[in-house]
Amino acid sequence: MADDPKTLVSTAWLAKHLKDPDMRLLDASWYLPDAGRDPKAEYDAAHIPGARFFDIEDISDARSDLPHMAPPVEKFMSRMRAMGVGDGHQVVVYDGAGLMSAARVWWLFRLMGQENVAVLDGGLPKWVDEGHPTEDMPPIPRDRHMTVRLQNHLVRDVTQVAQASKLGDPQIVDARPPARFRGDAPEPREGLRAGHIPGSRNVHYQTLLNDNNTMKDPDALRAVFEAAGVDTAKPVITTCGSGVTAAILALALERIGQSNWSLYDGSWAEWGMFPTVPIATGDA
């Protein structure tokens, strides 16, 4: 795997750079309610040395009824300042699943105009499996200013997605499992209809990962998208259940050199709730 401090870095790369003065590590673990896991308790028990806990539910838009929507710029800036993450830092984000919610936080940083941010490939499980150290004490952060420039082209709302669905451009790619995409399996959130956005393609995020939850190499990633009918040369809107695993698709697109993508933040938590927008079932 080619290490890239703007997208994805290996555990070996992190081990080498762990003590760099400008390194800032974030534990962004988050799980679906039915997983029965408490990410903050797990962080308190063991995390990569120096890591801060990034709470996806807390660092979000409190004004929205939708789950963990992107926070307002001012809130993101103030939370990052308090965590001692700011200008001039190299940020590496990891999670306890291997590669899941960390990609969401990578996307959030990109949305806020931060380029020097990468996901740890294989996350905490791979780090621990290889015998690298963990600790149970949180670091003592020093305030650091962060300059934020919102990149509006990286996020899409329901109106923009509805237009893309009608026109077939940009392509909409859904990261949920096939059974949920087809409408055969119920949604984990109550009150949502089953199915998918009309015209969207299904690339289950797991198909982009190896057995150890590291990301596949760029050639394999490209093959997965193309097998699902996605033209990797054309713009893409990524979507999923609530905007978390959609970011894995975005990260994978970035890894194959396709930077013309955006993420539907409301995702199915929003689309599946609106009775006025159409729904398709079955395969794409």
For the purposes of burial, counting CB atoms within 10 Å of the CB of 31, is it exposed (0-12), middle (13-18) or buried (19 or more)?
Answer: middle
Q: How far is the C-alpha of 99 from the C-alpha of 102, rounded, in Å?
A: 6
- The continuous run of DSSP H or E covering 53 comes out as strand 52-53
Structure tokens, 163: 């237009």
Helix segments in 37-190, DSSP class H: 39-45, 73-82, 102-111, 123-129, 158-167, 178-182
Sign, Cα dihedral of 270, 274, 278, 280: positive
Q: Residues 237, 240, 250, 253: which is the catalytic one? A: 240
Structure tokens, 70: 């992107």
Please confirm, yes or no, whether 240 is among the known catalytic residues: yes
CA dist 236 → 174, 263, 269 (Å): 10, 8, 19
Looking at the annotation, which residues are catalytic?
240
